[in-house]
Each structure stands twice: as structure tokens, then as C-alpha cells.
Amino acid sequence: MPIGVLSMLIIWVIGILQHDLNPLNFYALPAVGSLFIILILLLWREVIPFHSFELVVYGTVLAYSLCEFVWEVILCLLTGMSLSPNFTLWIPFVFILGFLILDTGRALLYSVVFSVVTLVVGASYYFYSIIHKQAAVNFSILLQFYFASVFYIAVLYLVARIKERYISEREAASDMSKLAMTDPLTQIHNRLILTRLLKDELNRVERYGSPLSVLLFDLDNFKTINDTLGHNMGDIILREVAHLLRQQIRTSDPFGRWGGDEFLCLVTNTDSSQAVELADRLRAALHRFRFTENCKVTASFGVTTYQKGDTSESLIRRADLGLYKAKGNGRDRVEVVLAGVTLPLFEGEKPYPIVDDDDELGGAVAD
């Protein structure tokens, strides 16, 4: 837009200096330039939406170009002079702008209408010249203009269709990729993408040495909900759980449905104590929330943190062990397993009992 305004200003000044500016352009160029400056300011101040800005610009260019064409023809009829090729220089911009701003169908329609109007005006000019025997008429300029217009419209239409097909295929590929990575019920990550993300996070941790924790949890007595309220209600609750916890978890931390009523969260740049705090915050959020049909839903959490030599399998296995310990010790609680150790956690003022897994896990119980 600034380039367009500057171009009109330069053309206007040069036309005045060389006395080569027709009366239409003498008034139209500064008027259109002023309108464009106002539109730029309104768009910058967010007074008008961008699409409205585009439509006004296109309509202005279309109207000005049509007026310029009609004016040139009328001027030739009045003076008996031949058409100058200068007026055709900016006409292609009408077609280009139309296909940039409008959808393909409307751009094609308006371009054809514009061409038909110019064709009617040009044909009228031709027959008038024949009837009045104006020898100075140069019809080759008009013929070149019409053929060039048809060429521009055809090429731009073809390019627009190719662009639409490309966008459609990109959107379809994006949808397929999203379906491959998203759990269809809860609209969060599925197990496939979580497995890939976990391996990526392990590579990052091994390279940079930043901490990584894993939260694995599932809903307590979820089978009872399915049996008593039905599987449809169970699906609703799973969606509500996913929505509730997604709001509590950082967007940078991958979170998804591991399977059934089981969920997994990869807590990046987070040590074990911070991961435990997050897990207990999630547990408390579920404990307080009242789900559909006033159901009370709780969850048991297993937490572990990456240690040198860990693989994705060993991390998940330890988190799963913590989850089963939480289930066995009363549910609606958090257990953390580190290097073969289950650490004590606290729920309110009541401490969780220390679970000694020295024999089973081959490690020492933490202080």
C-alpha cells in the first residue's frame, strides 16, 4: 500500500510537470492515494478488519481502472485521437488483486465482468469510429488488451486452482497427522505420540542433562462408573478429566491418554520434588471437581524421575510401579519411585506411610 501511494504521487507530480495528466487523473490519483492512506491508518489502529480493508482496496482499484478505460475511450472519441497504450499498463493489476483477495469463483466472475464491460466500451468505440470514419483509430491496441486480459484471467485462474488444491491437500495431510497423534475421545495426545515424545525427551535429557519426570496415573474404580452409569457416561468423564488436567499442566509438557482410563504426563525440566507437587495438585483438582451426574472421581499417581541409564521402558515401568503402590495403599494418592525406592508423600496433614520395597526393588528406602 505505501508503494502504491508513492507510485500514484510520483505519477501525479510528473504528469503535472509535463502537462500530460488528463482531468480524471488530476483529481482521481490524489483522491485514491488519500483513501489508501486513510485505510492504512484504520487498519493499523485496528478500526477495520483486514478482509474489509482488502475489499475496499480491490473495489477502489476496480472502479478506478474501469473509469480510466472509459475516460480514455471517450477522450479519443471527442478528440479523434488514437488510443494510447499507456492506459493498459496497470489493468493487469486488477486481475492479480482480485485473485489474491477474493475466492477463486468471485475473482473469476468480477474479472470476466470487468473484461466484458471494457469489451462493450471498446466495441462501441470501434463501431462509432467506423460510422464516423475516424481514420486515426488504432484497433490493435484494443485487440492486444483483450487478448492479454483473457490470458491473465486464464493463468491466474489456473494458479488459484493449483493453490486451492495444494491447500486442500495440506489440510488433509494435517488432519491425518492430527488423527495419528490425537486420542479421538479426549482430543489429547495418544499413546503413539507420547512414546515418540518420551524418546525425544530422553535424547534431550541425555544431551543437556536437564531433569525429566514422568507422571502415570489412572482413575480409581473407573470400572464401577462404567458398570453403573454406562460406557457413554464413562466417555464423558474421561473427556472432562482430560480437559480439567490439560488446564493444570504446562503446555510445554506432553500430556495424553496412555490407554483406557490411564494418563501420562512428561514433566520437562522438573525434578522429583516438583513433579510430586504437580502430581498432588492434579490429584487434589480431581478430588474437588464435580463431574457430570455429580460423580466423584479420584486418581492414583505414580511418579518417577530420569536417572542416568534410564530408557523409556524403565521410566514407564517405575512410574507404573508407583501407580500400583498408590492403588494398593488406599487410592487417591501419589507414590514416587526413584532408584528402586518409594518415597513418602503427604495428603493434607496425614503422612503417607513409607513403603519399604527394599527386597523387591533392590534399593534403600529414602529418609
Interval 122-137 mean pLDDT = 75
- Quickly count: other Cβ atoms within 10 Å of residue 335's Cβ: 27
The continuous run of DSSP H or E covering 268 comes out as strand 262-268
Q: How far is CA 215 from CA 39, 253, 254, 289, in A?
A: 53, 11, 11, 20
d(CA 208, CA 215): 21
Interval 68-81 mean pLDDT = 81
Question: What pLDDT sits at residue 357?
Answer: 36
List helix spans (H) across 102-137. 104-132
Question: What pLDDT sits at residue 137?
Answer: 57
- Partners of 146 in the beta sheet? none
Verdict on whether the full-model pTM lies above 0.75: no
Question: What pLDDT sits at residue 339?
Answer: 65
Q: Look over the chain and give the mean of its residue pLDDT values, rounded to a whole number.
A: 86
d(CA 97, CA 316): 56
Is the confidence at residue 367, as pLDDT, over 70? no
Model confidence at 359, pLDDT cuts 50, 70, 90, reads very low
Decide if 145 contacts 111 (C-beta within 8 A).
no
Is the confidence at residue 355, as pLDDT, over 60? no
More confident residue, 89 or 246: 246
* 299 exposure class (CB count in 10 Å sphere: 0-12, 13-18, 19+): buried
Question: What pLDDT sits at residue 178?
Answer: 72
Is the confidence at residue 85, as pLDDT, over 80? no
Question: What pLDDT sits at residue 288?
Answer: 92
Question: What pLDDT sits at residue 295?
Answer: 86
Model confidence at 157, pLDDT cuts 50, 70, 90, reads very high
Interval 142-149 mean pLDDT = 90
